[in-house]
């Protein structure tokens, strides 16, 4: 099977690092014109430069905070002004948290997670849907197996990803008659800075946690960004032309080992 995205415009949020970076690079290798969004300017510029090296197509780098309406409007406006169309929207940017209902925290974590992981996706999608309808394009929301795995410590992130998956289903039905597909790709443990950002753990501590968690993954290893990127590209491509409203897990079956993975998440709550 071949994948060709030349002449397709693909917007990837959270492209400055991690899964978003891998996704941007893979789309660049397949010839896509890219609109890349992040907050860390140095990282985003570096990813854009690496993408340009693949096929010589210069990406548009947008520095924006998707936790603000201003940043979201800027992202939609700059993308459409620059490319005049949009074929694929990858809603990847998100933040996580490790808290519980018994944990003494204020509502800031809840508000931040829902503002970026749910509200940000909702508004950006809303603004870009007319362009996606015009292009008969598609949307991929990057979710998490935390949406269904019940683990102490996953509040409120797991709730936010569950909301995102239902957003995928609801919008897929609404947009199907318009020829726009909408799907979630749901990673399990994926090597990136995500967990370190949430927990504040050192490289050493993260490595040791990754070693422990890997023992609970039925296929024996965590994902890397490319594993997720390859599924995103497959679902975004014509090879998936009748796939919509789905949530596709890429997790080595970790979601079936709920008791042990719950223990490894709850260990990370900061007290």
Residue numbers of the site for ligand NAP (CB under 6 A)? 14, 16-20, 37-40, 43, 65-67, 92-96, 116, 142, 144, 187, 189-190, 192-194, 197
Complex with ligand NAP: residue 116 or 136, whichever CB lies closer: 116
User: In Å, how far from its chain's centre is CA 205?
Assistant: 24
Smallest distance, Å, CB 134 to ligand NAP? Answer: 25
Smallest distance, Å, CB 267 to ligand NAP? Answer: 15
Active-site residue, selected from the candidate residues 3, 122, 157, 206: 157
Complex with ligand NAP: residue 37 or 264, whichever CB lies closer: 37
Taking Cα atoms as reference points, which of 27, 19, 238 lies closest to residue 11?
A: 27
Is residue 157 flagged as an active site residue? yes
* DSSP of 49-67: HHHHHHHSPPPEEEE--TT
Complex with ligand NAP: residue 17 or 182, whichever CB lies closer: 17
Q: How many residues does the chain have?
A: 271
Burial class of residue 68 (count of CB atoms within 10 Å of its CB; 0-12, 13-18, 19+): middle
Smallest distance, Å, CB 60 to ligand NAP? Answer: 15
Smallest distance, Å, CB 233 to ligand NAP? Answer: 15
Residue nearest to ligand NAP (CB): 18
CB count within 10 Å of CB 246 equals 17
Q: From CA 89, how far away is CA 92, in angstroms rounded? A: 9
Complex with ligand NAP: residue 16 or 79, whichever CB lies closer: 16
Q: Residues near 1 by Cβ (< 8 Å), separated by ≥ 6?
A: 239
Q: Which residues pair with 12 in a beta bridge?
A: 36, 90
Task: Say if CB 35 and CB 83 are below 8 A apart.
Answer: yes
Catalytic positions, written as ranges: 157
């Amino acid at each position: 099977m071949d994948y060709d995205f030349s002449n397709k415009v693909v917007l990837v949020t959270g492209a400055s690092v991690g899964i978003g970076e891998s996704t941007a690079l893979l789309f660049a290798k397949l010839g896509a014109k890219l609109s890349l969004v992040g907050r860390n300017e140095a990282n985003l510029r570096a990813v854009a430069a690496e993408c340009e090296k693949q096929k010589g197509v210069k990406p548009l780098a947008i520095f924006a905070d998707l936790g603000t309406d201003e940043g979201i409007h800027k992202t939609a406006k700059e993308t459409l002004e620059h490319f005049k169309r949009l074929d694929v929207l990858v809603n990847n940017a998100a933040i996580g948290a490790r808290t519980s209902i018994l944990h003494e925290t204020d509502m800031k974590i809840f508000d931040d997670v829902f503002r970026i992981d749910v509200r940000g996706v909702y508004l950006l999608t809303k603004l870009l849907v007319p362009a996606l309808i015009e292009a008969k394009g598609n949307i991929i929301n990057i979710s998490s197996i935390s949406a269904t795995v019940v683990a102490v410590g996953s509040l409120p992130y797991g709730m936010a990803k569950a909301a995102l998956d239902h957003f995928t289903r609801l919008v897929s039905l609404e947009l199907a008659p318009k020829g726009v597909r909408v799907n979630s790709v749901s990673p399990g443990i994926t090597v990136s800075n995500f967990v370190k950002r949430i927990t504040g753990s050192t490289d050493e501590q993260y490595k040791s946690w990754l070693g422990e968690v890997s023992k609970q993954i039925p296929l024996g290893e965590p994902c890397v960004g490319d594993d997720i990127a390859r599924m995103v590209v497959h679902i975004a491509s014509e090879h998936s032309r009748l796939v919509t409203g789905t949530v596709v897990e890429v997790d080595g079956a970790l979601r079936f080992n709920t008791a042990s993975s719950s223990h490894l998440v709850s260990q990370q709550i900061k007290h």
